[in-house]
Amino acid sequence: MKKILSIILLLLISKSFAFSQCNQSLVKNCCTNISTTSVFLQQFRAKLGDTNTKNDLPVARFSVLMSKGNTYRLDICSALDFEGEAILQLFDGDKLVASTYHTPSKTDFKAFEFFCSKTAIYKVYISFLDGKPGCAVGILSMKK
């Protein structure tokens, strides 16, 4: 009986991890981070392979128009069935504006808020730490 129970519990635990698989459930899961005072706008889905070189890390690139006067929030969630830990960066032209990962302190914030004062087309980059293969979703929401 103990064995059966152990197997059942193991299955249950496996299922809870499977919730963050590389599919639409990852989007839904990541959206639970959005507060009730924010409204979901867009998702950025990235699935990147392994790389042979450290100098040319694979990056998934997206564009998004952000309007001044709005406060946006960007969240990044990595699928647990992949090795890679995702980083989301926001660029204004070539200039890095914000990142979920602070390299000097190796702090992974997983999200940031961005008070926009310049309407422009911004770039969202999603990559994985050390170029490891990964699957992630970035969520753009806006404070109501």
Partner 1 sequence: MTKLLNLLLVSIASLLFFACSNFTTEDNDETFLQSDSVIASESVEIAKESMEDLIDNVSSPIEIASLLLDEEIPFNKDYIASTAHIDNLITDFDCAINLGVLGTDLGYLNLYDKTSSVMSTVSAINDLTNNLNVGQFFDFDLLKQLATNSNSLDSLVFTSISSFNNMDDYLRSNNRTNVSALIVSGVWIESTYLATQVYTEMENKKIAERIGEQKLILNNLILILENYKSNANFNELLVDFKTLKLIYDEIEIITVDSEPESKIENGMLVIIQTSKSTVDISNEQIAQIGLEVSKLRNKIINNEV
Of residues 60-79, those binding partner 1 (CB under 8 A): 60-65, 67-70
* DSSP at 53: -
Residue selected from 91, 92, 129, 132 as contacting partner 1 according to rule CB under 8 A: 92
What gap in Å lies between CA 78 and CA 135, rounded to an integer? 6
Of residues 108-137, those binding partner 1 (CB under 8 A): 109, 111-121, 135, 137
Residue type, 84: G
3-state class of 88 per DSSP? strand
What gap in Å lies between CA 76 and CA 136, rounded to an integer? 7
Check residue 54 for interaction with partner 1 (CB under 8 A): no
What gap in Å lies between CA 108 and CA 85, rounded to an integer? 9
List residues near partner 1 by CB under 8 A. Answer: 1, 4-5, 8-9, 11-12, 15, 18, 21-27, 31, 36, 39-43, 45-49, 58-65, 67-70, 90, 92, 95, 97-98, 100, 109, 111-121, 135, 137, 142, 144
